A and B are shown apart, each in its own frame.
Chain A
Amino acid sequence: MTTYIIRRILISIPVLLGVTVLNFFIVQLAPGSPADLYLDPNASPDYKERVEAALGLDQPIMVQYLNWLGQLVRGDLGLSYVSRTPVAEVIGSRIGPTLLLMGAALVVAYAIAIPVGILAAKRKGTWADYTVVGGAFFGVSIPHFFLGLGLIYVFALQLGWLPTGNMATIGGDGGGLWDRIQHLILPVAVLATAISGNMVRYVRSSMVDALSEDYVRTAHAKGLPPGVVTHKHALRNALIPLVTVLSVDLAGLLGGAIVTEQIFQWPGLGMLTIQSISSRDYSVLMGVNLIAALAVFAANLLADIVYAVVDPRIEYT
């Protein structure tokens, strides 16, 4: 197994390189030269050439990529085209709120999905099951922005219980924990709905399969109490695959965070992405995209390793 883990890590090195290549070249598809963003549209062609040379834009694309990669290895993500501050700093200032939002959503989603999924599997074919499955379909089918708008309409505008957006009350002391939580509730609800919808279906079908396995029937036949059978025999095997789902969820969460942050004016990476798109700040976009991809990449790697450790049923060669 150690060999497998080392191999898995070695194999991921070219993937990591591929991630940087794709990230770099997506932005290269942009029409025009990045120098245009720095310059007055009326600048002389001669001056433009000098700026391009200074930025290294006159060199072949492969050289530009290698230069960029070299900077990257040293932890330098370049300067924002717009604010002229280091991209790493810009991202650093926005990453906290996003992590808070995603982390809370993940915890809520799992806390709901796992027990509910197990319940549905145990009561398969009853109204409880249908309700859960129906709810899961609702969760995966409703777009984030529509759910977000709906929740704002009901809880913020009609009932007035919760704020419509932002991380804290503007002009308030900005520090109260309750104030923070109030601002967190709606965006977390939006994000958690979608992932728990998926998760519930996953837990349910995984558990249904596990409960129909022969070893579970044997456990019942041995006269073990039903609780012991579900929790000790079926549950463990049913939940192992969830490890891999986590990394898929992370990718979904990052995508969902963009729309959610935009609706709730949550000052995280998602909002930064939208802002950078409208200001055509490609260096920040590249940075955000890279950080997000690295997070998913790391989660995939970790999931595979954890899976290897917890599931003895896999052969590794």
Chain B
Amino acid sequence: MSEPTTLTSPSTQTAAARAVVASLGKEESYLRTVVRRFFRHRLAGIGLFAFLAMILVAVLAPLLAPHDPNQIFDQFQAAPSSAHLLGTDPVGRDVLSRLIYGARVSITVSVGAVSVYVIIGVCVGLAAGYYGKVVDSVLMRVVDVFMSFPYFMVILILVAVIGPSLMNITLAIGVLGWPVISRLVRGSVLSIKNQDYVKAGIALGYSTPKILFQHILPNALSPIIVNATFGIANAIILESGLSFLGLGVRPPAASWGNMLSDAQSITVMTSQPWLWLPPGIAIFVTVLAINFVGDGLRDALESRETKSHR
């Protein structure tokens, strides 16, 4: 192919080294090794805890929120008090409740969008890597086309054209985000398809989909999982950015991004920090937590120690 090929091979483990690992008396399952390595990163553990907490908040929003997020109270722009822990916004809605409901938007959009693009990216990558030749060249040129567009700008324009809504931003991020995954998957497939267990599968007369999805894909999952995790963090930033610019979730629905966009006035910024600090911190902390998880996963899944286990 036209792609430059570096000489580093993905698995440089010698047979001898693997044999040593294999012959060790007490065997640890692959999954346990991964879990152990993941939690060795203290920040990854904390990040996972924070992310799970965020998901819990999103799921349990109706139970946790002190008020209906769209209920309008008589005091607007009220400072934090015992009645409204984070004050109220210019319309008179409870900021804390809106913050809690905002978690739903962030989680839904990010997880939804990443699911969409992982599915597309995996299928394209499998096809390109496995069939090679013309299929590969054509698909990789399509990937090049998509990757030429600055991600945020093209999402912004696409959303502006098809109209902002929760569904549309999820689709826009999903439909435009697959090329990176497909490149990753293609790379893994290229090295896996020459493994003898794939050849054995062909000799045993397995169907191509069976070989692709049962034999090749499970062995190509690690980089996909890592990339998808960082992808969720990135999608949260994208969604809040779109909402901040008024092209995300439409008011009155609450999203962290559109809560922040109300803060673009000097008065709000200087005298009502409860309007812009909480949503900003919520985005930052969530994204940071997910990035820690991604980093921990990368370490746990792609280190030599765990790879030698395969």
Contacts and interface: CB of A to CB of B under 8 A. Distances in A.
Question: Within 8 Å by CB, do A and B touch in the complex?
Answer: yes
Interface of A: 4, 7-8, 11-12, 14-15, 18-19, 21-23, 26-27, 29-31, 137-138, 140-146, 149-150, 152-153, 157-158, 164, 250-252, 254-256, 258-259, 262-263, 273-274, 277, 282, 285, 288-289, 292-294, 296-297, 300, 304, 307-308, 313-317
Given A141-B287, A143-B241, A152-B269, 16 more contacts: A26-B158, A26-B161, A138-B288, A141-B233, A141-B288, A141-B291, A143-B240, A145-B240, A145-B260, A146-B260, A258-B153, A262-B245, A277-B160, A289-B157, A296-B150, A297-B148
A289 B245 contact: no
B156 interface: yes
B149 A164 contact: no
B144 A15 contact: yes
B145 A314 contact: no
A27 to B, nearest CB: 6
B245 A259 contact: yes
Contact of B263 (A27, A149, A251, A314): A149
Given A142-B284, A143-B240, A292-B150, A285 B157 contact: yes
A308 B152 CA distance: 29
Contacts of A21: 145
Contacts of B151: 251-252, 255
Interface in B134-193: 141-142, 144-154, 156-158, 160-163
Contacts, number: 157
Given A143-B237, A259-B245, A22 B150 contact: no
A236 B282 CA distance: 40
B247 interface: yes
A29 B4 contact: no
B7 to A, nearest CB: 6
A198 to B, nearest CB: 11
Nearest to B142: A18
B241 A259 contact: yes
B149 A22 contact: yes
Contacts of A18: 141-142, 144-145
20 contacts: A4-B4, A11-B141, A26-B158, A27-B161, A29-B161, A137-B291, A140-B291, A142-B287, A145-B257, A149-B276, A152-B269, A252-B150, A259-B245, A285-B161, A289-B153, A292-B150, A296-B147, A296-B148, A296-B150, A300-B147
Contact of B269 (A23, A149, A293, A313): A149
B244 interface: yes
Given A29-B162, A289-B154, A316-B4, A146 B284 contact: yes
Contacts of A26: 154, 157-158, 161
Contacts of B194: none
B9 interface: no
A313 B7 contact: yes
A277 B157 contact: yes
Contact of B150 (A137, A144, A293): A293
B144 A300 contact: yes
A29 B158 contact: yes
Contact of B148 (A14, A19, A145, A255): A19
Contacts of A137: 288, 291-292, 295
Interface string B60-104: 000000000000000000000000000000000000000000000
A142 to B, nearest CB: 5
Contact of A273 (B157, B261, B270, B292): B157
Nearest to A280: B160
Contacts of B142: 18
User: Can you list the 9 inter-chain pairs with the closest CB atoms, starting with the nearest?
Assistant: A255-B152, A18-B145, A146-B280, A254-B150, A141-B288, A297-B148, A277-B160, A314-B4, A141-B287
A151 to B, nearest CB: 11
B6 interface: yes
B4 A153 contact: no
Contacts of B291: 137, 140-141
Contacts of B1: 317
A100 B184 CA distance: 34
Contacts of B244: 143, 145, 259
Given A285-B157, A314-B6, A292 B149 contact: yes
B2 interface: yes
B63 to A, nearest CB: 28
Contacts of B2: 4, 7-8, 11
B69 to A, nearest CB: 21
Contacts of A23: 149
B5 interface: yes
Contact of A256 (B7, B144, B145, B152): B152
Given A29-B162, A274-B245, A19 B288 contact: no
